[in-house]
A and B are shown apart, each in its own frame.
Chain A
Amino acid sequence: MNALIRAELLKLRTTRMLPWLLLATLALVVVTVAANIASADPDDVALPLHDPALLGRVIGLSFGVPQVLVTVLGVLAFTQEVRYGTITSTFLVEPRRSRILVAKAVALVLSAVVIAAATLGVSVALSMALIGAKDGNVTTGGQFWQIVAAVFVAMVLYGLIGLALGALLRDQIVAVTATLVWLGPAEHLLIDALPEVGRWTPGGATFGLLQLGPALSENGTLLHAAVGGLLLLGYTITAAALALTVAPRRDVL
Chain B
Amino acid sequence: MIELHGLSKSFGIVRAVDDVTAVVEAGQVTAFLGPNGAGKTTTLRMLLGLVAPTRGSATFGGRRYDEIPDPVRHVGAVLEASGFHPGRTALDHLRVLATAARLPRDAPMRALADTGLEDAARRRVGEFSLGMRQRLGLAAAMLGDPAVLVLDEPTNGLDPQGIRWLRGYVRQLADEGRTVLVSSHALSEVEQTADHVLLIVEGRLIRSSTLAALRAEAGVGCRVRTPEPERLSTVLAAAGHRVRTEDEDLAVDTAAEQVGELAATHRIVLHRLNPTAGLEEAFFHLTEQLARVDDTPLHGAPV
Contact = CB atoms under 8 A, between A and B. Distances in A.
Q: Do A and B come from one complex?
A: yes
A7 B88 CA distance: 13
A219 interface: no
B140 A14 contact: no
Interface in B81-133: 81-89, 92-93, 95-97, 99-102
Interface in A1-45: 3-4, 6-7, 10-11, 14-17
30 contacts: A3-B102, A6-B100, A7-B96, A7-B100, A10-B95, A11-B96, A14-B88, A14-B89, A14-B92, A14-B95, A14-B96, A15-B85, A15-B88, A16-B87, A84-B84, A85-B81, A89-B82, A89-B97, A89-B140, A90-B100, A92-B72, A93-B72, A93-B97, A93-B100, A93-B101, A94-B100, A95-B49, A251-B50, A253-B50, A253-B51
Interface string A102-116: 000000000000000
A252 B51 contact: yes
Sort A-B residue pairs by CB-CB distance and give the 4 closest, nearest first: A85-B83, A7-B100, A88-B82, A95-B66
A94 B103 CA distance: 13
A90 to B, nearest CB: 7
B32 interface: no
Contacts of B77: 92
Interface string A81-99: 0001110111111111000
B65 interface: yes
Nearest to A250: B52
Interface of B: 42, 45, 48-52, 65-66, 71-72, 75, 77, 79, 81-89, 92-93, 95-97, 99-102, 140
Contact of B65 (A14, A16, A95): A95
B49 A86 contact: no
A113 to B, nearest CB: 21
